[in-house]
Chains A and B, each alone.
Chain A
Amino acid sequence: MSARAEIVDDQRGMAFRGVFLRELHGYLITPVAWLFSVIFLLFAGAFTFYLGAFFERGQADLDPFFQFHPWLYLVLVPALAMRLWAEERRSGTLELLMTLPIRSWQAVLAKFLAAWMYIGCALALTFPMWLTVNYLGQPDNGVILASYIGSFLMAGAFLAISECLSVLTRSQVIAFIVALAVCFLFLLAGDPLVQQPLLALGSNRVADALSDLSLLAHFQAIARGVLDLGDVAYFLLTILFWLAANVLILDARRGG
């Protein structure tokens, strides 16, 4: 009896940790995850030097590096996240997972944090960029740090959106395409591309509200070196909103 009691006490947070570690382990053994980091690092570098004209600008900063992050994430994060729930649904492991002693929100959060941590590692591996710019000149390292934080937060927002949409389907391809489309919409919510059709429909309010939701605008604000509380809160709330939606959808499916 005491052995069993011990097990129950031990279990606080154990299920969460178990799922988190399994997810993280999954990234180390699946080719998709390695592909993600390799392509991210290659493209981040290539874009910076070629499209961003890193050398030609003659400025010691990482603007040309960070300005391409939203576009890299737009494709790569939905690709990394598409399997999160769709794969569990297709293979039937969802039933295994959701009958383990774990709450839905713990499972959602564990998957999210493991993936976010993995993206964080890929982002951290761009440190040679920071070394290079410090070698070449005297950049404002505060701005660079803020940009890194902004980039990481933006990746988190994309990830939360993609994870949530992954729970709607068994097909990873559908999960990827829908996530890409929704992320694109949120990225450019403040852009004429999205704004003008809304304004043409005469819905100024919707257009205004949507422009406040623009991921790109908030990222650019942080990347300028101003780590404004509002911008940080925007990203955190976006993440929270989509994770909460994820939990709700997951639970609603049990009722169906």
Chain B
Amino acid sequence: MIETEHLGKRYGRVDAVADLNLKVSPGQVLALLGPNGAGKTTTMRMIAGFLLPATGRARVCGHDVVAKPLAARRALGYLPEGAPSYGELSVAEFLTFASRVRGLTGVSGRRRVDEMIERLQLQTVLAQSIETLSKGYRRRVCLAQALLHDPPALILDEPTDGLDPNQQREVHALIRGMARGRAIIVSTHTLGEVRAACNRVAILAGGRLRIEGTPAELERRSRYHHAVSFRAPASALARELLGRLPEVDAVEVDPVDGRVTVFPREGQEIFHVVVKLLDEQRVRVDELQLERGRLEDVFRQVTGDLSDDEAVAA
């Protein structure tokens, strides 16, 4: 369980994070989204105990990160931004160091290290010094460090940054595999990662929580939710007619691929109406789809608000 209450941090006159309330229960994987400078890393650093909160509090498995820092840190696995590690050490030496500091010694400690090496496929680079490794390997080495002590809470700051698509998929599978019984926070810039690995989403902008919910709930907020899109080479008249339907809010054509999207008015279901009209007009439809909503769209909506706020403030 990871909780924050009114968590805040200021840098000079700027609120890096303000009045942030988050709660991540075991089994939940929360994707922390937001534009650069939204306060994602600052939030994670406060929960991990690297930065002290200016206001509010954060708890990891019930341990306050300020009052009981060691207990909180023991319960947490943390992958810092950029996945730093001691470059002059070999992978094996670095993991030995991390296991020692975590109090994982003796046979059981060795077994945990071996397990992590296998899980993150580090066998072939064990003896290499970390500074000679590729970015993907370095990230996995630091990830191994975060998972070593089998923590009930996990914070991963951009875990797939710099990984190739295959490695990204592996990390997503790893996160999904660990979700059971663990509270996990993952920050990312890749919205595809949300569907692949997370079951909750929180979007930050300007240090404040803008929206939180399941990916499906957020997609419902998108104007694409329950929109109908189709591809039909000759559909100019049909588009005209679709636009006049009372249930339809707007009809847009993608200038690049010519795909037509029909947006419903608030709360309206338009799938059947659209299909019927296309059928009546004998439009040859190559492909047709009911949209479930786009996170990109919600992201833009929610973080776009910010510039309006700033305009007002200025």
Q: Which residues of A contact B (CB under 8 A)?
A: 3, 7-8, 10-11, 14-15, 17-19, 21-22, 25-26, 29-30, 91-93, 95-96, 98-103, 254-255
Contact = CB atoms under 8 A, between A and B. Distances in A.
Looking at A17, A92, A99, A101, the one whose CB has the most chain B CB atoms below 10 A away is A99
A101 B102 contact: yes
A22 B78 contact: no
Interface residues of B, number: 35
B149 A14 contact: no
B84 A25 contact: no
A11 B105 CA distance: 10
Q: Which 7 A-B pairs have the closest CB atoms?
A: A11-B103, A18-B100, A92-B84, A18-B101, A14-B103, A95-B80, A10-B103
B82 interface: yes
Given A3-B108, A14-B100, A8 B84 contact: no
Nearest to B157: A95
A contact face: mostly helix, strand, loop, or mixed: helix
A101 B74 contact: yes
B70 A103 contact: yes
A99 B100 contact: no
A104 to B, nearest CB: 10
B73 interface: yes
Contacts of A25: 89, 93
Interface of B: 45, 48-52, 54, 69-70, 73-74, 76, 78, 80-82, 84-89, 93, 97-98, 100-105, 108, 142, 145, 149
B102 A11 contact: yes
Given A8-B74, A91-B87, A254-B50, A96 B103 contact: no
A54 to B, nearest CB: 38
A26 B70 CA distance: 25
A17 B97 CA distance: 10
B49 A15 contact: no
Contact of B84 (A17, A21, A26, A96): A96
Contacts of B97: 18, 21-22
A11 B75 CA distance: 13
B16 to A, nearest CB: 11
Contacts of A93: 84-86
